[in-house]
Structure 1
Amino acid sequence: MDTVHHLDDGTIQKSTGECHFGWVLEGRAIQDIWIRPRRPAPSTMYGTTLRIFDPGIGGWHIIWSDPLNQDYSRQIGRAEGNDIVQIGDDSRGLKTRWRFTEITGDSFHWIGEERAAESVPWRVTYEHFARRTDS
């Protein structure tokens, strides 16, 4: 994946990374692993997400954990049109919104946003442009 980090001062940092998705818990959940930058470089982000569907709410319970940065988030995810939108809170107390857009069988665009309060607009912090590879 190609990553764009939108910094508070308006500048951007670009890097590469990798993500791996798979069914776990006998098909009851999806787990993904996110690594940035792409190995073998030392990681600045190394985390995992567990997504478990809950038919009672018509959505997914999502738990993110990046022990390298002590970054954690809980969200609820649902389909919105052709996108998947996850909304919740992170370990800093910020509201988070993660959107999977432009989804195809071989790629997606992930947009990470945050805000301190409902009255504040969402601010894009990260974008990941992921594509399936053979490696």
Structure 2
Amino acid sequence: MPGDNHGDVSSEGPPADRAKDMDLYGWLIGSWDLETLHHRNDGTIQKWDGECHFGWVLEGRAIQDIWIRPRRPAPSTMYGTTLRVFDPGMGGWHIIWSDPLNQDYSRQIGRAEGKDIVQMGADSRGLQARWRFTEITAGSFHWIGEERRAESDPWRVTYEHFARRTGS
């Protein structure tokens, strides 16, 4: 990641025995500009720009990212990180999100669904959360964050990120 200060935890890439399994998120490695939409409860939409950076960590056995909104040097309203670790035993990914600025934490399981990546879990408020990477290309993706209170409730889009690659 640019400005990487991970020291001994950063890695050049995945180990050979895990390389294929790491492909689901490995394409994200690098830096991205974001256009973010917050779909508020009152029906209005708030817009920001932002940035995110993805890199290999822990001997290439995990991918860590940093999401920043708005783009620096503006003061942050969201500054969080995700650790993604592949679990060969379940054939999926453990996703751990932490935004200490807003005290927002989430644990999810990520898997491929068709051409998309879908992460399911609960957020720090106890709501069900579904985060999806869609419209994936080498240079862009659309991230959709949805939530609901119960299985019987419809999913409600709360955030969207439209990302464009800026560097490797």
Q: With structure 2 as the length reference, what TM-score do the two structures score? A: 0.79
| Equivalent residue, structure 1, for 2:9 | none
What's the RMSD between the two structures over aligned residues?
1.0
Question: Are 1:100 and 2:133 counterparts?
Answer: yes
Match of 1:3 in 2: 36
Q: Which residue is equivalent to 2:83?
A: 50
Match of 2:92 in 1: 59
The alignment partner of 1:132 has SS state of strand
Pick aligned residue for 1:120 from 153, 158, 165: 153
> Do residues 76 (structure 1) and 109 (structure 2) align?
yes
Aligned to 1:18: 51
Alpha-carbon distance, 1:134 to partner: 4.2
Number of matched pairs: 135
Structure 1 distance, partners of 2:44, 2:77, is: 18
- C-alpha separation between the residues in 2 aligned to 1:10 and 1:120? 18
Flag as ranges the 4+ runs of structure 1 deviating above 3 A. none
Cα deviation code 1:2-30 (max 9, x no counterpart): 00000001110111000001111010001
The question of 1:41 aligning with 2:74 is answered yes
- The one-letter amino acid of 1:12's match is I
Shift of 1:126: 0.2
Identical positions, percent: 86
What letter corresponds to residue 85 of structure 2 in structure 1?
I
Determine the C-alpha separation between the residues in 2 that align with 1:60 and 1:11: 33
Q: 1:133 deviation in Å?
A: 1.2
* Distance in 1, Cα, partners of 2:57 & 2:136: 21
